[in-house]
Copies of this chain bind each other. A is one copy, B any other.
């Protein structure tokens, strides 16, 4: 296999620019970095466009590189310098896939009993963590509204730890349209916000539910709170002023998951 050694070569540059949203949107493609993400990407037929692997990663992750070859995905051996150019982490793990967009329209998602809506989540690490948590809690879909971070942001992809490839992700909808469509599906809309009068302990969670999560710093704006059937806060039993966003989302999603499992 010939090794790509020039970080300025057209192929490397074409991949590299997918670190920018404008190019992702134009190419409808994004980067998935590291063995976990690449393995999950390859498990979805037709998603992986090409794979870059260092010689070391080819040896260490022979199963993953083998799966790519079997699937007919072009594999390029990359020098350390090329991988450093592509990677967005401090210690690259030697595997980088170019993937096609995986999001779907909300209308194509099957039965929904638990959905997470990221309404104003701006930090990609938080967004990816909520996506991972929603996956773990058995959510049927995660909606990134147009006011939230891009789910294909490299940091979000990494924080999702493969979950971006596990469950239907919807992106780009305005929050009011997303909420209306979820209501049409018969879901109860619960806005998670520190201003809620009801706490998580008060709310009956035994119904299909969409949780709406807001901004890290300022929560949800009034017009989004007004769309919800109920505004719910996670109770603070101690002296903390609030919970961080991903933590609050985990408590809400798992509270719902636990009840929905029992009915």
Interface set, chain A 124-149, CB cutoff 8 A to B = 129, 132-139
Report the minimal beta-carbon distance from A64 to chain B, rounded to whole angstroms. Answer: 15
Contact B240 A135 (CB under 8 A): yes
Contact A136 B261 (CB under 8 A): no
Residue of B nearest to A138 (CB): B237
Q: How large is the interface on A (under 10, 10 to 19, 20 to 34, 35 or more residues)?
A: 35 or more
- Using Cβ atoms and an 8 Å threshold, which residues of chain B touch A36? 241
- Using Cβ atoms and an 8 Å threshold, which residues of chain B touch A258? 201
Asked if A244 is an interface residue, CB under 8 A from chain B, the answer is yes
- Using Cβ atoms and an 8 Å threshold, which residues of chain B touch A237? 136-138, 257, 261
- Contact flag A243-B238 (CB < 8 Å), given A201-B258, A258-B201: no
Contact A133 B241 (CB under 8 A): no
Asked if A177 is an interface residue, CB under 8 A from chain B, the answer is no
Q: Which stretch, A26-34, A162-170, A204-212, touches the partner chain B?
A: A162-170
Contact B254 A136 (CB under 8 A): no
- Contact flag A139-B238 (CB < 8 Å), given A201-B258, A250-B250: yes
- Contact flag A135-B166 (CB < 8 Å), given A247-B246, A250-B251: no
A19 to B134 alpha-carbon distance, docked (Å) = 36
Report the minimal beta-carbon distance from A223 to chain B, rounded to whole angstroms. Answer: 27
A135 to B240 alpha-carbon distance, docked (Å) = 6
Asked if A225 is an interface residue, CB under 8 A from chain B, the answer is no
Residues of A in contact with B (beta carbons under 8 Å apart): 36, 129, 132-139, 159, 161-163, 166-167, 201, 234, 236-244, 246-247, 250-251, 254-255, 257-258, 261
Q: Could you write out 18 A-B pairs with CB less than 8 Å apart?
A: A129-B247, A132-B247, A133-B244, A134-B238, A135-B240, A136-B237, A136-B240, A137-B238, A138-B237, A139-B238, A159-B244, A166-B238, A201-B258, A237-B261, A243-B250, A247-B247, A250-B251, A251-B254
Q: Which 10 A-B pairs have the closest CB atoms?
A: A138-B237, A136-B240, A135-B240, A166-B239, A247-B250, A138-B238, A135-B238, A251-B254, A250-B250, A136-B236
